[in-house]
């Protein structure tokens, strides 16, 4: 029969094709499109999750940076306070030392003054004694001029050495 003959076979073939289309739709296309959609959804949700986590991490980083900045500020404040305090302490100590020095100086000066006074008193007393003794000698009139001078010198030397 003819090599190129259209007959009922074509309609049967078309029916066969529809059956195959239906079977493949049920067995292959539907499950595969479903699984591909599921896979796409999974990838998208995982990407969204990753984005969310990235944002959270960024937020946490910002927070940590804020905490670090605060800590740095607090530390700076502590250091500056401590410095101020130490400056104050140093100033206070310096004042105290100056006061103490002044006090020591004053007491030393007073002591010197006192001792000077005492020395003057002693000299005065000694000079009095010498004058008395000299007067007594003069009164006694036993001494010539030379002897008087020698005697006076001796007394004076003695007084000096004492």
Interface with another protein (CB under 8 A)? 1-14, 16-17, 19-21, 23-25, 27-29, 31-33, 35-36, 38-39, 42
- Give the nearest distance from C-beta 74 to another protein in angstroms: 52
Residue 52 C-beta: closest distance to another protein, Å: 22
Phi, psi of 2 (to 5 degrees): -60, 140
* Closest to another protein by CB, 2 or 141: 2
For another protein, which is the closer residue by CB, 32 or 89? 32
* CB closer to another protein, 5 vs 145: 5
The long-range contacts involving 119-125, CB below 8 angstroms and separated by at least 24 positions, are none
H-type helices in the chain, by residue range? 9-24, 30-140, 145-161
36 or 131: CB nearest another protein: 36
Q: At what angle do helices 30-140 and 145-161 cross, to 10 degrees?
A: 160
* Residue 19 Cβ vs another protein, minimum distance, rounded to whole Å: 7
Whole-angstrom CA distances from 50 to 45, 58, 96, 149, 160 are: 8, 12, 67, 124, 108
Residue 7 C-beta: closest distance to another protein, Å: 4
Report the run of H or E that residue 25 belongs to, with start and end.
Answer: none
């Amino acid at each position: 029969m003819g090599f190129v003959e259209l007959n009922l076979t074509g309609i049967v073939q078309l029916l066969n094709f529809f059956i195959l289309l239906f079977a493949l739709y049920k067995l292959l296309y539907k499950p595969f499109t479903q699984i591909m959609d599921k896979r796409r959804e999974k990838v998208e949700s995982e990407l969204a999750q990753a984005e969310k986590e990235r944002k959270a991490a960024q937020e946490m980083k910002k927070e940590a940076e804020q905490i670090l900045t605060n800590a740095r500020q607090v530390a700076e404040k502590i250091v500056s306070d401590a410095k101020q305090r130490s400056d104050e302490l140093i100033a206070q100590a310096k004042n105290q030392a100056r006061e103490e020095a002044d006090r020591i100086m004053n007491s030393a000066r007073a002591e010197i003054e006192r001792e000077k006074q005492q020395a003057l008193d002693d000299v005065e007393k000694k000079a009095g004694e010498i004058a008395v003794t000299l007067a007594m000698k003069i009164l006694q009139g036993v001494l010539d001029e030379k002897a008087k001078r020698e005697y006076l010198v001796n007394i004076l030397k003695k007084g000096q050495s004492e």
